[in-house]
Structure 1
Amino acid sequence: MNLTISGHHLEVTPAIREYVQNKLERIKRHFDHVIDISVILSVDNLSEKEKRQKAEINLRLSGKTVYVESLSQDLYASIDMLIDKLDRQVMKYKTRIQDHSRQALKHLSGVESATA
C-alpha cells in the first residue's frame, strides 16, 4: 500500500503526518485490500475571519476509487471528519462485496414452477 500525504499552501509537519497515519489505521483494520492512499491537506485564505482547512483523500481499492473531502476551521477536526466519512464509505463497499444473500438460479426456477 502506498501512502502519499501532501500539503497545498501548508507545510506537512511530522505531527500532522503521524496524526493522519494513526487515523488511517482504522481504515486498514476494517478493509485490508487498499492499493493506494493519497491525502491532500490545504488551507484556503478566503478572508481574515474565514480560514478554511480542507482535507481530501483518494483511496484506490481493487475495482473502485473512493474520494472524500471535508472542510472545517481546524485542520485536525477536518481530518477527523474525513476519516469518519471514509470509514462509512469503505464499510459500505465492504458489505456490498461480501453480500452473499443472492439465491442460485436453480432454486429460483424451482420456486417459480411450484407457484405457477
Structure 2
Amino acid sequence: MNISLTGRHVELTDAIKAHMNASIQTLSKYNLDIISVNVIASTQTKKGKDHSVVEFVINLAHKNSIVIEQNDQDLYAAIDLATTRAQKAMRRIHDRDSGHHKDGINEAKIQANTTINLNEASEAMEDEIVPVELALYKPREVEDVLNDIKENKKLFEIFIDNDGKTRVLYKRNDGKFGLY
C-alpha cells in the first residue's frame, strides 16, 4: 500500500503524520486490496474563520476509488471524521463482496439439491395436510350463524343461505357484524 501525505498551506508535523498513518492503518482490517491512499490536508478561510479540510483518496484493486472530503475547525477532528467515513465505505464494499450474492444461481441449485431430498420433502408435506370436511352443504339461517359466532367467539363463519348463495358473516372492528 502506497501512502502519500500532502499538506497545502499546512505544515504537517510529525504528530499529524503519525495520526494520519495510524488512521490509514485502520483501513487494512477490511481485507480489501488497497493500492494507494492519498491524504491531502489544507486550510480554507470561510466567513473569516479558518477551517481544516482533509481529503482521502483510496484506490482499491478492481473497484472504484473512494474519495472523501471532510471539513472541520480542528485538523485532528477532520482526520478522525474522514477516517470514520472511509471505514464505513470500505465496510459496505467488504460486506457486498463477502455476502451471499457472490454465488451464482447454478451453485445455489446444486447446493439445494444436495441438501434437500425432494421426495422426502413431498412425503413430509403430505403428512402435514389434514383434510377437513366443511358443513357448507346444509343451508342455514343468518340468525343461527350469528348465534354460533357469538357463542364460539369466532371472527367469521362461511355458510350457505336458504337461497343457495355462499355467504360470510364476520365480526367488524367496531363490534358489529357484517354479511358478505
Regarding TM over 0.5, the answer is yes
The superposition leaves residues 77-99 of structure 1 with CA deviations (integer Å, 9 ceiling, x where unpaired) of 00000000000000101111112
CA RMSD of aligned residues (A): 2.2
Kindly report which structure 2 residues correspond to 1:93-112, keeping only aligned pairs within 5 A, or say none: 93-101=93-101, 102-105=103-106, 107=109
- Cα deviation for residue 37 of structure 1 reads 0.4
- Cα deviation for residue 47 of structure 1 reads 4.2
More strand by share: 1
The superposition leaves residues 39-88 of structure 1 with CA deviations (integer Å, 9 ceiling, x where unpaired) of 0000012344x211100010000122100111001000000000000000
Residue identity in the other structure for 1:52: H
Tell whether the 8 Å contact from 1:31 to 1:90 is kept in structure 2 after alignment. Answer: no
**Higher Cα Rg, which structure:** 2
Tell whether the 8 Å contact from 2:32 to 2:60 is kept in structure 1 after alignment. Answer: no
Q: Which runs of 5+ in 1 are unaligned?
A: 108-116
What's the counterpart of residue 59 of structure 1?
Answer: 58
Q: Residue 70 of structure 1 aligns to a residue in which SS?
A: strand
What's the counterpart of residue 87 of structure 2?
Answer: 87
How many pairs does the alignment contain? 110
Residue identity in the other structure for 1:98: S
Percent identity for Structure 1 against Structure 2: 23
Which TM-score applies when normalising by structure 1? 0.84
Q: Which runs of 5+ in 2 are unaligned?
A: 110-180
- Cα deviation for residue 29 of structure 1 reads 1.9
Flag as ranges the 4+ runs of structure 1 deviating above 6 A. none
For residues 31 and 81 of structure 2, the distance between their equivalents in structure 1, rounded to whole angstroms, comes to 19
For residues 54 and 40 of structure 1, the distance between their equivalents in structure 2, rounded to whole angstroms, comes to 8
Higher relative contact order (CA 8 A, sep 6+): 1
What's the counterpart of residue 112 of structure 1?
Answer: none
- Cα deviation for residue 100 of structure 1 reads 2.7
For residues 6 and 37 of structure 1, the distance between their equivalents in structure 2, rounded to whole angstroms, comes to 11
